[in-house]
C-alpha cells in the first residue's frame, strides 16, 4: 500500500510542470485574445475617423468648387461695379520734386560736344529750384479699358509751364497676350525711357538719354505689344508716333514720322536673382529738328542748328537685380547698363546773326552708361554711375550764306572738337518711408573739354495712391 502511495505521489510531482505550462499557455491565449479585441476596437475607431475625414475633404472640395464658381461669377460682374467706383474714385497722386544745385561752371553754357540738344536737355538752374510737380490720375474705365494721365508742372525760371506728359488708354481684353495703347505716352524703347523722373535712381538722366532723346521721348502715338506664353518673360512690341518731339521735329498730321520696335526678355536665377535684357530700334523720318538755341538781339532770329534728314537709333539694355530670397526690403542691389548707337544723314542749317549756312551732315554717334545701386540697409542706398559719349560727324559746307565756312564748321554743335563727353556720378539717398526721399549727388562732369563739379541735394515727396513701379 505504501508503495502505491509513493508511486502516486511521484506521478503527481512529475505532472506539476506540465500543469504549470498548461496554465501559462492558457494565460497567454487570454492575453492574445484581449489584445486582438483591443486592436480590433482601435482599428474600427481609426476606420471611422478615416471615413469622417474623407467626408470632410469631399465636403471641403465641394465648397471650394462652389466658391470658385461664385468667384468667377463675381469677377464677371466686377467690371460693372469697378466702372461705377472708378468713375468717381480714380487713383490720384501728386509728386513733388525739387533740388538745391551748385556748379563750378555756368549752367547756361552747358552743352555736349558733337551733339544737338533739345530744349529739356540742359541743366537745372543754380540754387533752389522747383524741378517738377506731377499730377497723376489713373483708373480702369471699365472691363475693356484702363486710362492714365500725367500732368507735369515745370519751373522754367520765367514762370510755370504746364504740360501733359502722358494721357493714354490701354486695352484690357485683347486675346492671346496682346495689348494696345493709344494717346500720348513714353516710348518703351530702352530701359529708362518709360520711367517717370521720381523713379530714377539718380537726380538726372544718363548722358546718352540727354544727348539722343532730350532726356525722355514722349509723343502722340499707338503701341501694340505681345507677351509670349513662355517660362521666360518675353514681350515684343512696336510703336508709331507723330514725331512732333525731339528727336523728331515739327508736328505732322499723321502717324508714322517716328517708328519703333522693341523686345524685352527676362527671368529669374534661383530665388535671389532676376534679370531683363532689351533691344530697341527707332527710325525718325524727315526730321526737322532745331537746337535749343537763343534769339539774336539784332535780327530777332534764333541762332543754332536745324537738322533735316533721317535718324536711326539702336539701344541695347541689361538690368540685373539681387535681393536675398527675393525680398528687397532690407538689402538689394541693382546693376544696370544701356548702349546707344545712332546714325544720322541729311543737312544742317546753321544760323548766326540772321545769316544761315547749309552743311552736308553724316553723323555716327554712340555712348553708354553703367550704374550700380546698393541698398545696404532699410531706407538707405548708395550708387555710382559712369557715362560716356562719342561722335564721328562728317561735315561739309554746301552754302555759306554770307558766313565764314571755317567759323561755321567750328561753331556748329555737330563739331565734336575731338572731345568725348564723359561723367562720373556718386549718390546717396535716404527714404524715411515709401512716400519720401532725400538724395545727395555729385557729378564729375566732362561733357565739354573742361570739368564741371556739380552738387545736388534733391527731395521727392509723394501724396496719394501710387501704383508699383515696373521691373
The string of DSSP codes covering 172-186 is S--STTEEEEEEEEE
Is the C-alpha dihedral spanning 291, 294, 297, 300 positive or negative? positive
Q: Which tens digit of pLDDT belongs to each residue from 405-445?
A: 888 888 888 887 778 999 999 999 999 998 999 999 999 99
The average pLDDT across 113-129 equals: 88
CA distance 455 to 88: 44
Closest CA relative to residue 257, chosen from 244, 274, 272, 238: 244
Give the DSSP H or E segment for 33.
Answer: helix 2-88
For residue 356, what pLDDT is reported? 87
Q: Which tens digit of pLDDT belongs to each residue from 226-252?
A: 999 999 999 999 999 998 888 987 656
Task: Report strand pairing: 380-399 vs 332-352.
Answer: unpaired
CA distance 269 to 273: 5
For residue 317, what pLDDT is reported? 98
For residue 245, what pLDDT is reported? 86
Indicate the pTM of the whole model: 0.79
Rounded to a whole number of angstroms, the distance between the first and last alpha carbons of the chain is: 115
For residue 14, what pLDDT is reported? 55
CA distance 320 to 332: 11
Contact present, 208 and 216 (Cβ < 8 Å): no
> For the chain, what is the radius of gyration of the CA atoms?
38
Closest CA relative to residue 140, chosen from 77, 182, 86, 181: 86
Which residues, in sequence order, are bridge partners of residue 95?
134, 462
For residue 27, what pLDDT is reported? 72
Buried-state track 189-205, b at ≥16 Cβ within 10 A, e below 16 = bbbbbbbbbbeebbbbb
For residue 461, what pLDDT is reported? 95
The average pLDDT across 193-203 equals: 94
| Residue 136 CB neighbour total at 10 angstroms | 24
CA distance 280 to 267: 19
Backbone angles phi, psi at 41, to 5 degrees: -65, -45
Domain-wise residue ranges, the chain? 1-89, 96-464
Task: Give 180's pLDDT tier (boundaries 50, 70, 90).
Answer: very high
Q: Which tens digit of pLDDT belongs to each residue from 253-288?
A: 677 889 999 999 999 999 999 999 999 999 998 677
Alpha helices in 315-418 (DSSP H): 405-411
CA distance 188 to 50: 58
For residue 13, what pLDDT is reported? 52
Buried-state track 22-33, b at ≥16 Cβ within 10 A, e below 16 = eeeeeeeeeeee
In the predicted model, is pLDDT for residue 16 greater than 70?
no
Domain 96-464, CATH: 2.40.160.10
Higher-confidence residue of 35 and 353: namely: 353
For residue 147, what pLDDT is reported? 95
Q: Which tens digit of pLDDT belongs to each residue from 47-88?
A: 777 777 676 666 655 555 554 444 443 333 333 334 434 555
Closest CA relative to residue 222, chosen from 263, 187, 252, 250: 187
**Residue whose C-alpha cell is 535712381:** 201
For residue 158, what pLDDT is reported? 67
CB within 8 Å of 375: residues ≥ 6 apart: 328, 330, 331, 332, 333, 381
For residue 311, what pLDDT is reported? 93
The average pLDDT across 324-348 equals: 94
Amino acid at each position: 500500500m505504501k508503495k502505491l502511495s509513493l508511486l502516486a505521489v511521484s506521478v503527481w510531482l512529475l505532472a506539476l510542470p506540465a500543469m504549470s505550462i498548461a496554465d501559462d499557455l492558457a494565460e497567454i491565449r487570454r492575453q492574445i485574445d484581449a489584445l486582438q479585441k483591443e486592436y480590433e476596437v482601435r482599428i474600427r475607431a481609426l476606420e471611422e475617423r478615416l471615413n469622417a475625414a474623407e467626408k470632410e475633404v469631399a465636403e471641403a472640395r465641394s465648397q471650394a468648387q462652389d466658391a470658385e464658381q461664385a468667384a468667377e461669377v463675381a469677377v464677371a460682374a466686377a467690371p460693372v461695379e469697378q466702372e461705377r467706383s472708378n468713375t468717381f474714385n480714380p487713383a490720384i497722386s501728386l509728386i513733388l520734386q525739387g533740388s538745391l544745385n551748385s556748379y563750378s561752371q555756368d549752367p547756361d553754357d552747358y552743352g555736349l560736344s558733337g551733339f544737338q540738344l533739345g530744349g529739356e536737355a540742359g541743366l537745372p538752374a543754380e540754387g533752389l529750384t522747383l524741378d517738377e510737380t506731377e499730377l497723376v490720375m489713373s483708373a480702369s474705365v471699365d472691363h475693356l479699358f484702363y486710362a492714365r494721365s500725367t500732368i507735369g508742372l515745370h519751373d522754367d525760371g520765367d514762370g510755370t509751364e504746364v504740360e501733359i506728359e502722358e494721357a493714354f488708354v490701354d486695352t484690357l481684353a485683347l486675346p492671346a497676350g496682346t495689348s494696345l495703347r493709344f494717346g500720348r505716352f513714353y516710348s518703351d524703347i530702352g530701359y529708362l525711357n518709360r520711367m517717370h523722373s521720381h523713379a530714377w535712381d539718380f537726380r538726372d538722366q544718363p548722358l546718352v538719354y540727354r544727348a539722343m532723346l532730350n532726356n525722355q521721348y514722349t509723343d502722340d502715338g499707338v503701341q501694340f505689344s505681345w507677351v509670349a506664353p513662355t517660362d521666360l518673360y518675353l514681350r515684343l512690341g512696336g510703336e508709331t508716333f507723330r514725331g512732333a518731339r525731339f528727336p523728331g521735329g515739327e508736328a505732322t498730321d499723321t502717324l508714322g514720322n517716328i517708328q519703333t520696335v522693341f523686345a524685352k526678355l527676362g527671368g529669374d536665377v534661383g530665388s535671389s536673382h532676376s534679370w531683363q535684357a532689351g533691344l530697341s530700334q527707332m527710325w525718325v523720318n524727315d526730321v526737322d529738328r532745331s537746337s535749343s538755341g537763343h534769339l539774336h538781339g539784332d535780327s530777332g532770329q534764333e541762332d543754332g542748328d536745324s537738322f533735316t534728314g533721317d535718324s536711326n537709333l539702336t539701344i541695347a539694355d541689361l538690368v540685373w537685380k539681387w535681393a536675398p530670397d527675393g525680398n528687397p526690403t532690407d538689402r538689394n542691389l541693382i546693376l544696370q547698363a544701356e548702349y546707344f548707337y545712332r546714325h544720322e544723314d541729311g543737312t544742317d542749317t546753321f544760323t548766326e546773326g540772321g545769316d544761315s549756312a547749309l552743311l552736308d551732315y553724316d553723323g555716327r554717334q554712340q555712348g553708354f552708361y553703367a550704374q550700380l545701386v546698393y541698398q545696404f540697409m532699410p531706407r538707405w542706398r548708395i550708387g555710382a554711375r559712369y557715362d560716356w559719349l562719342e561722335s564721328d560727324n562728317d561735315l561739309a559746307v554746301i552754302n555759306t550764306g554770307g558766313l565764314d565756312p571755317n567759323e561755321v564748321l567750328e561753331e556748329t554743335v555737330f563739331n565734336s572738337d575731338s572731345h568725348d563727353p564723359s561723367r562720373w556720378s556718386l549718390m546717396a539717398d535716404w527714404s524715411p518711408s515709401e512716400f519720401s526721399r532725400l538724395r545727395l549727388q555729385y557729378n564729375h562732369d566732362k561733357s565739354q573739354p573742361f570739368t564741371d563739379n556739380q552738387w545736388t541735394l534733391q527731395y521727392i515727396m509723394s501724396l496719394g495712391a501710387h501704383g508699383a513701379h515696373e521691373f
